[in-house]
Amino acid sequence: MRKAVFPGSFDPITNGHEDIIRRAIPLFDEIIVAIGVNADKKYMFSLDERKRFIEETFKDEPKIKVETYQGLTIDFCKEKDAQFILRGLRNPADFEFEKAIAHTNRVLSKIETVFLLTAASTSYISSSIVRDVLRNGGDYTVLVPKAVRK
């Protein structure tokens, strides 16, 4: 079974995240969308809200599971018997950052990282941009899945 973990804070999930996950479905037997929990980080949405947004977005997709975790992503992957980490790349800066993490993960484990380029139509979207639009009363609805808009 080809199992991938797609880690992130998903605060909130964006159309970019959704695009990467949907495009990865044919590549894997199971994808665990793994919401990382960092006690030192202040989130806009609660863990329960973030989990619900993702579960609702993928409610009709049996290959998608949503879980939460703390600690190293590679430890979570080992616990879930996942052979791959899935990551989306928006730009060259993302690539450099993600490449360093992927190399580190590869040294520490046998887990491979699979990169998918974001679609041109979503490459500008990030959760931090969505949060800024929300804080300032802007129209965020074109940036996020329907579950977040409710």
Catalytic (active-site) positions: 17, 41, 90, 127
Q: Is 41 annotated as a binding residue?
A: yes
3-state DSSP helix/strand/coil % of the chain, to nearest 5: 40, 20, 40
User: Nearest 5 degrees, angle CA 17-CA 72-CA 60?
Assistant: 35
Q: Is 16 annotated as a binding residue?
A: no
Q: Is 127 annotated as a binding residue?
A: yes
One-letter amino acid for residue 21 of the chain: I
Give one DSSP letter per residue of 110-146, joined into a string: SPEEEEEEPPTTTTT--HHHHHHHHHTT---TTTS-H
Q: Is 43 annotated as a binding residue?
A: no
DSSP code for 68: E
Give the span between the Cα atoms of 74 and 136, in whole angstroms: 36
Q: Is 10 annotated as a binding residue?
A: yes
Q: Is 124 annotated as a binding residue?
A: yes
Q: Is 45 annotated as a binding residue?
A: no
Q: Is 85 annotated as a binding residue?
A: no
Binding positions are 9-10, 17, 41, 73, 87-90, 98, 122-128
Binding site feature residues for ATP: 9-10, 17, 88-90, 98, 122-128
Annotated binding site for substrate: 9, 41, 73, 87
